[in-house]
């Protein structure tokens, strides 16, 4: 049996009722003897069209013998049953089910990436997940949901940009100043004299104990935003696996979504 975690989100219709219906439908379609729901949280939309209503987010946990692909198919069937219509990216929706974790499995196919590649900085995913199990480990980062949540709520932290673009640095500094005044922003810009040289691995103990120490930054309070196609990503290393935000396709949009995703959710009664 494998422990699975599924994120829920909705901001159209009656999200609380949809949450209850989704729990029943998932259990029925996957033939589950039991399913644990988290508390619900109200969150501000992170990205997508303007003027959306707030989201209601939660998380389900269950044990199953089904494969990740079978679970994904079941979740998509539940979404269709409960009125999901796929349209504009990050637009308002009646239901959204995301497969966050399937045990300690690492999956990367055109149809599915597990662990979910953006769950580590999204409070609307982290808070419900940590509500269910703060000790569950995200295998790509070798950190628990509770540890990642502590990083997300930290009043003082460091954001490292891997970018040649000075505009990206300017936007990051402005967003940090307005929403996270205790945060500092540094850039690693290969080929630009003002940037810090890029290390072989951002997870290397040597880099973390030298460059981060010089900045007065702690690995457990550091994020990395990747905005360069020509810089190789080195995930493995002997130090802390630093949470990375992939902003290569749209660095400015991802910066805005990142800071919006850090806004604290409100527990729903």
CA gap 163, 33 in Å, rounded: 49
State the pLDDT at residue 236.
45
pTM for the whole structure: 0.87
Contact predicate 97/14, CB 8 Å: no
Question: 117 and 229 share a domain?
Answer: no
Question: 35 and 122 share a domain?
Answer: yes
Question: 188 and 82 share a domain?
Answer: no
Question: 211 and 117 share a domain?
Answer: no
State the pLDDT at residue 238.
46
Question: 8 and 136 share a domain?
Answer: yes
State the pLDDT at residue 90.
60
State the pLDDT at residue 232.
46
Question: 203 and 236 share a domain?
Answer: yes
Active site residue 187: no
* Helix, strand, coil share of the chain (percent; to 5): 35, 20, 45
**How does DSSP assign 111-132, residue by residue?**
S-EES-TTGGG-HHHHHHHHHH
Is 266 within the bounds of a domain?
A: no
Q: Which of 29, 96, 118, 246 is catalytic?
A: 96
Active site residue 98: yes
Question: 180 and 255 share a domain?
Answer: yes
Question: 28 and 71 share a domain?
Answer: yes
CA gap 248, 225 in Å, rounded: 9
State the pLDDT at residue 57.
97
Beta-strand pair 2-10/96-102: antiparallel
**How does DSSP assign 51-107, residue by residue?**
TPPPEEEEEEEEEE-S-HHHHHHHHHHHHHHTT----STT---S-EEEEEEETT--E
State the pLDDT at residue 192.
47
State the pLDDT at residue 241.
66
Look at the chain and report how many structural domains it folds into: 2
pLDDT in tens, 115-147: 998 898 899 999 999 999 999 999 988 899 999
Active site residue 84: yes
Segments forming the whole domain that contains residue 67: 2-152
Active site residue 86: no
Q: Which of 84, 122, 123, 151 is catalytic?
A: 84
State the pLDDT at residue 204.
61
Is 175 within the bounds of a domain?
A: yes
Q: Of 87, 122, 152, which marks where a domain is finished?
A: 152
- Residues of the chain with pLDDT below 70 are 47-48, 86-91, 189-208, 229-241
Domain holding 59: CATH number? 3.30.70.560
């Amino acid at each position: 049996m494998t422990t699975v975690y599924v994120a829920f989100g909705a901001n159209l219709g009656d999200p609380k009722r949809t949450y209850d219906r989704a729990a029943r439908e998932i259990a029925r379609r996957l033939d589950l003897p039991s399913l644990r729901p988290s508390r619900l949280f109200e969150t501000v939309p992170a990205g997508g069209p303007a003027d959306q209503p707030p989201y209601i987010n939660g998380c389900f946990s269950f044990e199953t013998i089904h494969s990740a692909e079978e679970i994904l198919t079941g979740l998509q069937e539940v979404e269709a049953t409960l009125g999901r219509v796929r349209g504009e990216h990050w637009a308002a929706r009646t239901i959204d089910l995301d497969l966050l974790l399937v045990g300690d499995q690492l999956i990367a196919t055109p149809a599915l990436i597990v662990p979910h590649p953006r769950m580590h900085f999204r409070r609307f995913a982290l808070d419900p997940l940590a509500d269910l199990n703060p000790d569950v480990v995200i295998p790509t980062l070798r950190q628990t949901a509770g540890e990642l949540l502590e990083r997300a709520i930290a009043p003082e932290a460091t954001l490292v940009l891997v970018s040649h673009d000075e505009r990206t640095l300017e936007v990051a500094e402005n967003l940090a100043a307005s929403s996270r005044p205790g945060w500092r922003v540094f850039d690693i810009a290969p080929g630009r004299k003002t940037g810090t040289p890029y290390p072989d691995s951002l997870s290397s103990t040597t880099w973390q104990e030298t460059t981060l120490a010089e900045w007065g930054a702690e690995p457990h309070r550091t994020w990395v935003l990747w905005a360069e196609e020509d810089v190789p990503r080195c995930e493995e290393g002997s130090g802390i696996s630093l949470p990375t935000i992939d902003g290569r396709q749209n660095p400015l949009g991802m910066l805005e979504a990142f800071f919006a995703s850090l806004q604290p959710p409100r527990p729903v009664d």
